[in-house]
Amino acid sequence: MKNKIIIASVIALVVSAFTIIAYQSGLFDRAEDLVYDAKVKMFRSQAVPPRNIKVVLVDDASISAMEKTAGRWPWPRAIWSDLLDFLTTYGGAKTVLFDILFTERQDEANDGALVDATTASGNVVHSMIVKHEKPDKDQKYNLQLNKPLPAEFVSKFAVRNVQGSLNIKSAERNNDFTLPIDKLHAAASRMAVVEFTPDADGTLRRTIPLREYQGSYFPVLGLAPFVDENSKVVIGTKAIQINDRIMPIDRDGNFLINMYGIDNVEPISVGGIFASLQKIRAGDIENLVVNPEEFRDSIVFVGVSAVGGADLKATPLATRTPGVIMHVSLAGNYLQHDFLMPADRRLTLLAVLIGVCAVVGVVFFSKRFLIRASFPIMILLAYSGYSFYAFKLHWLVDTIPFAFASITSGFLSFGYLTFTEAVEKRRVSQVFTQYVSKDVLNEVLHNYKEYLKSSQGQKVEITILFSDIRGFTTMSENAPPEKIVEMLNIHFTHMADIILKHNGTLDKYIGDAIMAFWGAPLPDKNHAENAVKASIEMLEELKIVNAELREKGLDMDVKIGVGLNTGVVTIGNIGSQKKLNYTIVGDAVNLASRLESLTKEHKTGLLLSEYTYEMVKDKIPCTMLGNVKVKGREKAVDIYTPEVLKKQ
């Protein structure tokens, strides 16, 4: 038991330590992201964003339908001024946000048209990029890094009332930016960052809500409608407060976006809007493809879903999601307080420790195999179920560290026990294989732990047999030694087969004698009866033994005497450190040996003690032959022989 406790403790300690190190090192992040994706598909596929958030998409149908009027993609800027006219002048949109970058000049007329429409609308948010670029060997390129933003740009668009700072390593700070054309960002009401960094598998799941550049902060597009010059922003280690919303973040400052599927967003095609705009300008306001009133007081995101727009991203809900949906989801999360609480790493570590200790404890020390085998699976299923249910309540629970720890600890525990059990079974097999029949051995191995205990020594009531060849001394003096050995081998083979057939245990061969017993190692309530039946059959088998001896040219006639006694003895592996025998000792053994020596005197092949007789008298008729005084006993012992032998 002490060794098991030590080994169990070592396994628990090693698995816990390795799991914690792997978890802290991020080795489980990829697998955890896949579990997160499964949760999103299960619980967020039908999630619907707020009704006042609208999405306008440039889809493949729009590009195809407008090729004659707008030309090939990308379209002239004047097209976007028409879109703004529809959304703000006719539709009365509250805010229009472009997930489209206008960073390169076209011609003055087109650029001017978009600038004028942006100015006239007064509620347009345009996009910028701030990012971290690794320095290049080309020093000319490096001179472009870490350039300051224009002072007037920072003064107009940077978040003003910021407390705290993002925890960003100096080597990873943003050092590059891309802005819209000058006049356009001067005309915009706000400016927002649209760059998303995918996870290692290329999937978009999270974003840093505020982007820092040389001490100034800018919101990402999804938060831009809610951040103005009066907004209170507090950056903490676990959350970012924007106005009255507290957005939880992880230790890297990331906000995990609670996704809405594109089908639930119900995007509106730009092609339908322009078709409706043409009808409105022609004075036809009936049967419009898109009614501008849909946008009244709405937050409108404009993005691209066409393949040529190169803005299809992998998200947990789909491998080809328009990037603007990430911004829409973030805005919906903000409006609806629809935030996911990041996993508490301390609780994850505590769960790992509890899970490992529970699995190792049950596997090592439960006496029921079904419980030992099923517990690691059951605890894993229970924890996984809790993890998924917690997601439904907007709480993230790390699943992979617990799963890894419980599976690994269960596997190692079972592996160790399997190995040690195999070793112990071999030990038991080595002890008993030469003494008992295959059926008895199989039963012993099935409960090998109990028989390991018995081999260490215990008191049992059994029936003991001694069998001896009569006249063996004369026989061995008159016959060649090789003939004696051959005779003994034939005789012992037949006798041993009978003993084993009746579930007896062969103790040893003593010269020409056999010592055996019944009732151990396998308990046998009929041990006396089986011993008597085996003894009678042994005497009957002598006819076959002698016939075989004659066939082999051995001029010998074997006769035996058998003594049986029932009593309590000490049984176990007895001997020296180099040689042990599974055997029995005690007064009952001496009496059985004494009875065997008296068989010739009483002219019978088998003598039973009164103790054996008491156990078989109702099943095997016997005749009392007298009593015998045995050395060490004050009272004489009655002796019997089966009537079936008297009749022979």
Distance separating alpha carbons of residues 132 and 208, to the nearest angstrom: 13
Residue 451's pLDDT band (cuts 50, 70, 90): very low
Q: Is 66 left (phi over 0), alpha (psi -120 to 50) or beta?
A: alpha
The residue out of 312, 335, 358 marking a domain boundary is: 335
Helix residue ranges per DSSP H, 25-94: 29-43, 60-65, 67-70, 77-84
d(CA 142, CA 135): 6
Q: Tell me, what's the pLDDT at 440?
A: 44
* Residue 564 in this model has a pLDDT that exceeds 90: yes
Q: Are residues 398 and 278 in the same domain?
A: no
**Boundary residue ending a domain (397, 427, 457):** 427
Residue 34 belongs to some domain of the structure? no
In a domain, 192, yes or no: yes
Of 384, 410, 427, the position where a domain reaches its end is: 427
36 domain residue, yes or no: no
Name 465's bridge partners. Answer: 516, 564
Q: Please check whether residue 45 lies inside any domain of the structure.
A: no
Counted domains in the chain? 3
Residues 471 and 362 in one domain: no
What is the Cα 615 distance to its own chain's centre? Answer: 56
Is 95's pLDDT higher than 70?
Answer: yes
**pLDDT value for 421:** 60
Per the CB < 8 A criterion, the answer to whether 172 and 132 are in contact is: yes
Q: Which residues touch 525 (CB under 8 Å, ≥6 apart)?
A: none
Please indicate, yes or no, if residue 504 is contained in any of the structural domains.
yes
Based on the fold, state whether residues 144 and 210 are members of the same structural domain.
yes
What is the C-alpha separation between 143 and 145, in angstroms, rounded?
Answer: 5
pLDDT class for 5, splitting at 50, 70, 90? Answer: confident
For the chain, helix (H) and strand (E) counts, in that order, are: 23, 25
Residue 448 has pLDDT above 50, yes or no: no
Q: What is the model's pLDDT at position 228?
A: 87
* Residue 237 belongs to some domain of the structure: yes
Residues 400, 383: contact at Cβ < 8 Å?
no
Hey, what are 3's tokens?
Answer: 């060794």
Whether 394 is in a domain gets the answer: yes
pLDDT confidence of residue 424? 52
Q: Are residues 377 and 409 in the same domain?
A: yes
For all residues of the chain together, what is the average pLDDT? 87
Q: Are residues 379 and 265 in the same domain?
A: no
Confidence of residue 128 (pLDDT cuts 50, 70, 90): very high
State residue 196's pLDDT score.
85
pLDDT for 439 equals: 46
Domain of 397, in residue numbers: 2-20+343-427
Would you say residue 544 has pLDDT above 90? yes
List the CATH number of the domain containing 509: 3.30.70.1230
Can you tell me the distance from the alpha carbon of 64 to that of 273, in angstroms, rounded to the nearest whole number?
14
For residue 218, with 0-12 CB atoms within 10 Å meaning exposed, 13-18 middle and 19 or more buried, which class applies?
buried
- Is residue 108's pLDDT more than 50? yes
Percent pLDDT > 90 in the chain is: 58
pLDDT, residue 144, reads 73
Is the domain of 368 the same as that of 450? no
pLDDT for the residue numbered 138? 61
- Detail the DSSP E strand segments found in 104-261: 124-131, 162-163, 176-178, 190-193, 206-207, 210-213, 216-219, 233-235, 239-242, 245-248, 255-256
Shared domain check, 200 and 158:
yes
More confident site: 463 or 133: 463
Within this chain, do residues 123 and 176 fall inside the same structural domain, yes or no?
yes
What average pLDDT does the segment 515-542 reach? 92
pLDDT tens, residue by residue, 190-235: 999 998 888 889 999 999 999 999 989 999 999 999 998 888 999 9
Per-residue pLDDT, averaged over 252-266, amounts to: 88
Q: What local confidence, expressed as pLDDT, does residue 170 receive?
A: 62
More confident residue, 196 or 606: 606
Check whether 434 has a pLDDT greater than 60: no
Mark whether 324 and 368 lie in a shared domain. Answer: no
pLDDT over 60 (residue 37)? yes
Same domain, 412 and 492: no
pLDDT at 139: 58
Residues 156 and 110 in one domain: yes
Span 313-367, pLDDT tens digits = 899 998 888 899 999 999 999 999 999 999 999 999 999 999 999 999 888 888 7
Same domain, 308 and 372: no
User: Does residue 557 lie in a domain region?
Assistant: yes
The more confidently predicted of residues 100 and 438 is 100
